[in-house]
A and B are shown apart, each in its own frame.
Chain A
Amino acid sequence: MTTHLKIDEPDHRNRLDHMAQGTLGAPLDRPEGPLKVTGTATYADEWPVEGLCHGVLVRASTDKGRVTAVGREAVEALPGVLAVVTDERFLRNPAQGMAGAAPAQGPDRIAYFGQPVALVVAETFEQARHGAETLQIAFDRSDDAVLDLESDRAAVDVPPGKQASQGDLDRAMREAVHAVDVTYRTPGHVSAAMEPHAAIATWDDGLLTLRGSYQMLRFNRLELADSLNIEPDRVRILSPYVGGGFGSKLGISPEAVAAAIAAERLGRPVSVALTRPQVFEGTTHRSETRQRIRLAADAEGRLVGIGHEALVGNLPGEVFAEPVTQATPFVYRGEHRVVGLSVARLDRTCAGSVRAPGEAVGHTALESAMDELAVATGLDPVELRRRNIPEEDPSSGLPFSSHTMRRCLDHGAEAFGWHRRKAEPGSVRDGEWLIGMGMASAVRVNMVVEARARVRLTADGRAEVETDMTDIGTGTYAILTQIASEMLGLPMDRVETRLGDTDLPSGSGSGGSFGASSTGTAVYLACEALRRDLCARLACEEEDLTLKDGMAIAGDRRVALTDLLGGQTLTEEGHVEAGETSKKVRQATYGAYFAEVAVNAVTGETRVRRMHGTFTAGRILNAKTARSQCLGAMVFGIGMALTEELLFDPRHGHIVNHDFAEYHLPVNADVPQIEVDLLEERDAWANPMQAKGIGELGICGAGAAILNAVYNACGVRVRDLPATPDKILPGLP
């Protein structure tokens, strides 16, 4: 049976607080941990497949134009080379998140430098790599490529749905006691998941099995089938372990389609793994942004107006536009408002989702501007934010489902020791280092997307959870196991969770911080149905049933689950959909960051010395994995603030720093011990579990805390991220 829930109303029953097993929320180890630490978890390009041959993609070495010739014969004559494969179905662009349909195809038309155009397949990887390096491709280059976000020649779209205004912001700015009107710029970023995109394609009787590394399998299956012009029921995708995604694996990428086509043509399984430069060039990156931020405040520092107008870029025809202003409509008070988003059409690598599209860069810039307002008003930055927490969504008038920013600000300030901060920039010194403290708020929208999961309570008193949901490092195996364990009163080792297989019920997929709350709710619903099934056998009400350690307890009866099941296995499916709640309340997650940095007075180098984050996200499903998510996201913030920056060649649009030697992720030595405090919250509007997303919250503003600390340390305000020494040195005291 399937239990369906469309979330139209809050669920105040809060049933999980009445369960007895005590596993949900606990800081438990990931059940798949022993596999990961021993190298025995199987990632995409690691399946032992008989007769496997290897494909290496060849990329375009021009920015915009056409392929005029492929030197196929010379390469096909090389030892071991089986074929040089080109096909009009090859992807031109990677698929966007939740596309569910083929992205732009047709590799002969070159849309950007680095676009894959051909695949060389050989018996061994070494032969394929040599063939790919040897393959000569001739191009006709167009001379009208637009490669700069702020180019006068760029066509700029102004999507009507992305513009909003109320009141009269211009007047509010003129009449404001304190006004800030600043422009921030953020560079392109990459997800840089450690596992490169890879796929092994196998055909069997017209059915395609693709072992790949993707985040949202139910959409990926539709994207792959549509790209190949076959029915979705002929495609199975397996992704039980995904070596990170951070948005770059939301949709399928060129390797999936190329591997499938080559495998069909050769009648043999084919593996295609992108090289690291190909991951940079052939999958999505976060667009660079230009953001004009206007803040108008009264004498007490209360905002009367906010303007947030952003310019982002993407390829012509791509619908995705980095939603920079996503949280601005509701994060702070102010009756006069302008929010706008424009998209410059660029002939460069496809832009798409990178962890927390929107708030990651948008709230970071807004929180830097808020720090400028704090300076202008002379208010403590924490107090400025306290004064501007709105009572209701100031744009829509909707109430908040729950609002925890004030609690997070107060808790974080106390835990970090914010009172020790000196407001005057450059006033604390430690040898040749200038020391400063900065803070920022965190905010991220919360959502639920459709998800299904199946839970089987087996005759031997165990449970199996099944969904095509993925675990990209987020902790899905742990939390789904915990939900079933808690609801069914079973120890963790008697619950097994199977993920990442499109033959299983369709979960939400991993993206937008909605995975845990969406797919988790589907598991919850299935378990609730199983509890009702057990109640029917015990002739009791569901509220009167206690399940713990494999025992069912109702009134004065205590029965072993195995006896109650009497040799039968019970199976239930949960199915959740978003409903009307977004029309009734504004849902979001909140937090606060505090950072202490040291800026070298001689070199301008910035080191993060301490960092603290306080967050809320409704019910925390696993205190250990939730903390790790926040911690990792804050490190993304360190990278955004100090080192990460895609550099595009202005002549050809290629990514100059397309590897880890030149695109600087934070390394271990760049990261101090980071404190993460998770505060208790329940949000009945979110879902019956009262849990909200947490995977992205920790990046939404984290970089601003560091940039604001840099200002406090040395008086240099960096509005063009990242804050590399060259930008700090000229302004040092």
Chain B
Amino acid sequence: MRTELTVNGTVHVLEADPRTSLLDALRHHLGLTGSKKGCDHGQCGACTVIVDGRRINSCLTLACMHDGEAITTIEGLGTPVAMAPLQAAFVDRDAYQCGYCTPGQICSATAMLDEVAAGWPSHVTDDLEAAPDLSDAEISERMSGNLCRCSAYPNIVAAIRDAAEGTR
């Protein structure tokens, strides 16, 4: 079926099987393989993309449900020669090893920092009314939907902190 997606600022018209997940639309139809398929069940976060400003697991939603929406993938955040601050911080802090969960981590972190800036509390926020501070516990909690078997978690927290502080 016909779906119009704006991906990283470019409009794509997709003629795809209605069963096509947003992730498979990106990977198979648009050639954007930066979004990864780690489980296809919404359990690992490797497929995280940003849809209309919110991070979602792109394997858990059908492409045709996003007709007319704006999607940002890892390819839309930066390039190897012009990395976004988070991407550069991930390299600097070695916040990855195999690199397979990394695009999902970075997309997730990008939207997560916006959530913190908007004042959204998390499970570990003590004062639900106050602006959350970006403690290690807050970053870890908010990033726990993105698995990393190489287990770069402490470095991921450090990279996100670096990027957040650099852009404040």
Residues of A within 8 A of B (CB): 29-30, 32-43, 45-46, 48, 124-127, 129-130, 191-196, 241-246, 273, 275-276, 472-475, 624-625, 627-629, 631-636, 659-661, 665-674
Contacts and interface: CB of A to CB of B under 8 A. Distances in A.
A195 B87 contact: no
Contact of B96 (A37, A124, A474): A37
A195 B97 CA distance: 12
Contacts of B83: 34, 37-38
A473 B17 contact: no
A8 B25 CA distance: 56
The 9 closest A-B pairs by CB, nearest first: A39-B34, A243-B100, A473-B98, A36-B99, A473-B97, A635-B151, A39-B74, A34-B80, A46-B33
Contacts of B32: 39
A503 to B, nearest CB: 23
B167 interface: no
Interface string B54-88: 00000000000000000001110111110100011
B39 A40 contact: no
Given A40-B34, A660-B41, A34 B154 contact: no
B38 interface: yes
A32 B101 CA distance: 15
A527 to B, nearest CB: 25
Nearest to A474: B97
A31 B143 CA distance: 26
Nearest to A198: B37
Contacts of B152: 628, 631-632
B19 interface: yes
A145 to B, nearest CB: 28
A668 B157 contact: yes
A29 B83 CA distance: 14
Contacts of A673: 136, 154, 157
Given A475-B97, A660-B147, A666-B151, A130 B75 contact: no
Contact of A38 (B34, B137, B148, B154): B34
Contact of A276 (B39, B87, B141): B39
Which of B20, B146, B147 gathers the greatest number of chain A CB atoms within 10 Å? B147
Interface in B122-137: 124, 136-137
Interface in B1-57: 17, 19-20, 24, 27-28, 31-41, 43-44, 46
11 contacts: A34-B91, A36-B99, A37-B102, A38-B83, A45-B37, A193-B100, A628-B97, A628-B150, A631-B154, A635-B153, A668-B157
Given A37-B90, A671-B151, A195 B140 contact: no
A507 to B, nearest CB: 18
B154 A243 contact: no
A43 B35 CA distance: 11
A661 B151 contact: no
B92 interface: yes
A668 B139 CA distance: 9
Which residue, of A244, A273, A475, A665, has the highest number of chain B Cβ atoms within 10 A?
A: A244
A473 B99 CA distance: 7
Given A241-B99, A244-B149, A673-B154, A37 B38 contact: no
Interface of B: 17, 19-20, 24, 27-28, 31-41, 43-44, 46, 73-75, 77-81, 83, 87-88, 90-92, 94, 96-103, 106, 124, 136-137, 139-141, 143-157
Question: Chain A interface secondary structure, helix, strand, loop or mixed?
Answer: loop
Contacts of B75: 38-40
Contacts of B43: 276, 659-661
A672 B77 CA distance: 28
B154 A674 contact: yes
A39 B149 contact: no
Nearest to A40: B80
A669 B98 contact: no
B74 A276 contact: no
A189 to B, nearest CB: 12
Contacts of B34: 38-40
A370 B38 CA distance: 39
A339 B46 CA distance: 43
A41 B94 contact: no
B98 A29 contact: no
Nearest to A80: B17
Contacts of A671: 140, 151, 153-154
B97 to A, nearest CB: 3
